[in-house]
Amino acid sequence: MNNNTRILVLDDDPDIGTMIKMMLEYKGYSVTVSDRAELAQQTLNSGGVDLVIMDMLLSGVNGTDLCIDLKKNKSTSHIPVIMISAHPNAKEICLQAGADEFISKPFDMNDILSKIDRLIHKRFA
């Protein structure tokens, strides 16, 4: 299933985006990384995304607002969202915004991989 699974990673820290992309591609996922919400919105609207991993705070945009918009939009509401953040109260805020999962920074790649696997299997079950 990994070979066809397309993941969008939204993070304004290029090192984090690159690290997640490398690990997920190594595991067989197709990964697009963006640090700009506008580009992400275009990618999401094109229907080319199966799962989103998004930082809570992006340059100039609150990731929770983007998550709320994603979950309200009929064409993107089915896409699972994993939000990541280092902020202490972030988990509750992200889950209230509609995120399917939350991971705190610093994170463990095995944690991300197991959450992706569970969400993708749930979505395509």
Tell me the whole-structure pTM to 2 decimals: 0.93
- C-alpha 23/C-alpha 114 separation (Å) is 13
- Domain 2-124: CATH superfamily is Response regulator (3.40.50.2300)
pLDDT tens sequence across 39-69: 777 788 777 899 999 999 887 788 999 999 9
- C-alpha 29/C-alpha 112 separation (Å) is 13
The Cα angle at residue 86 between residues 12 and 38, in degrees rounded to 5: 25
Q: Are 74 and 102 in contact (CB under 8 A)?
A: no
- C-alpha 31/C-alpha 39 separation (Å) is 14
pLDDT tens sequence across 78-101: 999 999 999 888 999 999 999 999
Name the more confident of 106 and 45. 106
**What ranges do the domains of the chain cover?**
2-124
